[in-house]
Amino acid sequence: MKVYYDDKYIEINKNNKYFIYSPLNDKYIEINEKSKNLIDYIYNSNGNISINEIRNYFISKYNLDVCNDEINKFINKLIEVKILFASNNDMQIEKLNHIGYLKKLKQGNLKVAYIHATLRCNFNCSYCYNRTLINKDYKEFSTSEWIKILKKLKKQGVVKFIFTGGEPLIRKDLKELILSVKDKNTYIEVLTNGSLLKDQFYDLIDIVDKFTVSLDSFDININSKNRSDVNYYDIISTLKLFSEYNKDKILVRSVVNKNNIDDVEHFSKQLYEEYGIESTHGWFIPNNYSEIPLVPKYRKLENPSSIRPKNVNFISILNKLACGAATSIIALDPAGNIYPCQNLMTKELKISNILNENWYEELINSDITKLLSNLSVDDIEKCKDCSYRHICGGGCRAIAYKVYGSLTDHISYFCDFLQADAKDAIEKTKISCG
């Protein structure tokens, strides 16, 4: 008998239980040690099964005579749950169906808008992905013009507005802008450097669902290597305000690069212990190929307040693939130009302008949208046979574009990191028989 299987399978041994994960269709099963040995036998024999050999193997290894029926039943079960396939054709069909299913996950309606009402900034962070855009002499829309735009987005189905920039608090009308779309069905997030928040704290705290405050260290020298020391102590006193008033509304986000990698875990710990504030680590994204050396060597970072779900299952991991750029997510610059995401605001990737009467049709029909929404990790040559591809997703497409010049490139400099992260995700995954 010959059976077929994904030869990039992963075997996981967790808490003395065995799991087999099949990357081509993201199926996984929990098995006992004997079943694991039987599967190993099948894999080691390249799917060529001799029932007699299996019986002899069980007699010699376990002193156990397993009858043909039992062996056949087990193999049929593996075929039924699609870990094994009766023919290569069945396996290829399953693979294609699964790619189609994953692509469908990416389809969806517009839900999230990154609003860059301003690209002015009072900082000049060394790593900023917007640094070629900030503090240029852009004409900005007035408050009433932005309100019209925000309402237009809301009418089209946007339920999450992320105010970013530049520094969004530089505009003194942020409260008005937020209030123009705020209701129980909208989620408002503000990405801020925190330096101007102290004065507007009480105006904004109750109307914003989440503030993501960027800060890289409590050590002003380390922080200033990455960011700026402008109003540094105001940022620290704002943390105190959050911790006293509502610490659930703040998430501190640190960008990890060579300057702060040795401090960032200590920083998270201190934030949590002294202020009760949660933090997250975002790995530094090089703005071009020459910045790759600024990325530290991968290592697991401990975060006592990590917001990452501790127990995730494979299906929730798969959502990582559906980044949503240009489909469920867009970014708007101060002139109303529409881009696939906040990290891809370049001239060549401009999709439309919100002032155009047909902006939504232009968005959904644009070649960039079609490319991004149809792109799957299985289309990336160097990823398509990787065991971790559906957990890793091939990495952020903005990184591929910035570093290698194409939305579809393999992110080689980050591949080891992504693979280690995928392994880490498997370790943290709550696996149940499925």
Ligand X SMILES: C[S@@+](CC[C@H](N)C(=O)[O-])C[C@H]1O[C@@H](n2cnc3c(N)ncnc32)[C@H](O)[C@@H]1O
Q: What residues make contact with ligand SF4 under the rule CB under 6 A? A: 121, 123-125, 128, 130, 134, 165-167, 193, 227, 377, 382-383, 386, 388-389, 392, 394-395, 411, 415, 418-419, 422
By the rule CB under 6 A, 242 interacts with ligand X: no
Partner in contact with 282, chosen from ligand SF4, ligand X, none, beta carbon below 5 to 8 Å by kind: ligand X
Instruction: Find the helix packing angle between 68-80 and 51-62, rounded to 10°.
Output: 110
Assess contact for 54 and 66: CB atoms under 8 A. yes
Number of H helices, E strands in the chain: 16, 12
Partner in contact with 376, chosen from ligand X, ligand SF4, none, beta carbon below 5 to 8 Å by kind: none
Q: Which is nearer to ligand SF4, 3 or 252 (CB)?
A: 252
Number of residues that bind ligand X (CB under 6 A): 18
Q: Which is nearer to ligand SF4, 223 or 352 (CB)?
A: 223
Q: How far is the CB of 54 from ligand SF4 (least distance, A)?
A: 33
Partner in contact with 327, chosen from ligand X, ligand SF4, none, beta carbon below 5 to 8 Å by kind: none
Find the binder of ligand X among 191, 252, 398, 403 (CB under 6 A).
191
Q: How far is the CB of 212 from ligand SF4 (least distance, A)?
A: 11
For residue 8, with 0-12 CB atoms within 10 Å meaning exposed, 13-18 middle and 19 or more buried, which class applies? middle
Alpha helices in 189-335 (DSSP H): 197-204, 220-226, 232-245, 264-270, 314-318
Within 38-67, which residues bind ligand X (CB under 6 A)?
none
Q: How far is the CB of 427 from ligand SF4 (least distance, A)?
A: 15
Q: How many whole angstroms separate alpha carbon 91 and alpha carbon 83?
A: 9
Instruction: Find the helix packing angle between 68-80 and 33-44, rounded to 10°.
Output: 80
Q: Which is nearer to ligand SF4, 38 or 169 (CB)?
A: 169
By the rule CB under 6 A, 337 interacts with ligand X: no
Partner in contact with 386, chosen from ligand SF4, ligand X, none, beta carbon below 5 to 8 Å by kind: ligand SF4
Q: Which is nearer to ligand X, 253 or 266 (CB)?
A: 253
Q: Which is nearer to ligand SF4, 182 or 402 (CB)?
A: 402
Q: Which is nearer to ligand SF4, 39 or 215 (CB)?
A: 215
Contact flags string 122-141 toward ligand X, x per CB under 6 A: -----xxxx-----------
Q: Which residues fall within 8 angstroms of residue 175, CB to CB, at 6 or more apart?
A: 200, 203, 204, 207
Within 243-282, which residues bind ligand X (CB under 6 A)?
253, 255, 282
Element (H, E) at 53: helix 51-62
Assess contact for 220 and 190: CB atoms under 8 A. no
Q: Which is nearer to ligand SF4, 31 or 167 (CB)?
A: 167
Q: Which is nearer to ligand X, 45 or 135 (CB)?
A: 135
Question: Position 237: which residue type?
Answer: S
Burial 344-358 (b: 16+ CB within 10 A, else e): bbeeebbbbebeeee
Q: State in Å, rounded, how far the first CA of the chain is from the last one.
A: 26
Q: Which is nearer to ligand X, 121 or 277 (CB)?
A: 121
E-strand spans in 309-411?
A: 329-332, 337-339, 352-353
Q: How many whole angstroms separate alpha carbon 69 and alpha carbon 60?
A: 19
Residue 162 burial (CB count, 10 A): 20
By the rule CB under 6 A, 165 interacts with ligand X: yes
Contact flags string 214-233 toward ligand X, x per CB under 6 A: x-------------------
User: For binding to ligand X (CB under 6 A), which residues are involved?
Assistant: 121, 127-130, 164-165, 167, 191-193, 214, 253, 255, 282, 284-285, 287
